[in-house]
Amino acid sequence: MQAKQLANLQKRYRNILTRGAKELPAIPLKTTGKRGKLAKSDAHNLLERLQRHEASVLRFTKEPSVSFTNNRAERDLRMSKVKQKVSGGFRSEDYAKAYCRISSYLQTMANKGYTPLIAVQLALAGKFDT
């Protein structure tokens, strides 16, 4: 991205946060005699994090190696959690490890453009990676 585009994107990002801050209800004043931090809403906490970590949120615009989201790790774990819930858990740690190994292999091959059926055929033929 060019510097002008980056500056425009950053300006738009800050504008969105400013508009969001105006939409939030005011934080109630702390009552006397109460100790500790005042609890804020989830929306207030999110707004503060987005403001504080602006550089990290927009890092994907400056560094092409940074992906737009970091949800890949979550997506990779989601199916094993679904499997665990559906089957009531893995019968042993060995089965859990085998499931993760197979799932990881299929995901890697999918990233390389292979369908699961072709990936399994390659594995059975002893050609794990072409």
Q: What is the mean pLDDT of the chain?
A: 82
How far is 45 from 40, CA to CA, in rounded Å? 7
**Burial annotation 103-117 (CB, 10 A radius, 16+ → b, else e):** eebbbebeeeebeee
**Token pair of 63 as six digits:** 């560094």
Domain boundaries, the chain: 1-24+41-68, 72-124
- From the number of C-beta atoms within 10 Å of its C-beta (0-12, 13-18, 19+), residue 119 rates as buried
Averaged pLDDT, 100-109: 85
- Predicted TM-score (pTM) of the model is 0.52
Which pLDDT belongs to residue 107? 84
Averaged pLDDT, 115-121: 91
Q: What is the pLDDT of residues 33-60, one digit of tens each?
A: 677 777 788 888 999 999 999 998 888 8
Q: Which residues contact 119 (CB under 8 A, 6 or more apart)?
A: 105, 106, 109, 110
Averaged pLDDT, 11-37: 83
Where is 58: in which H helix or E strand? none
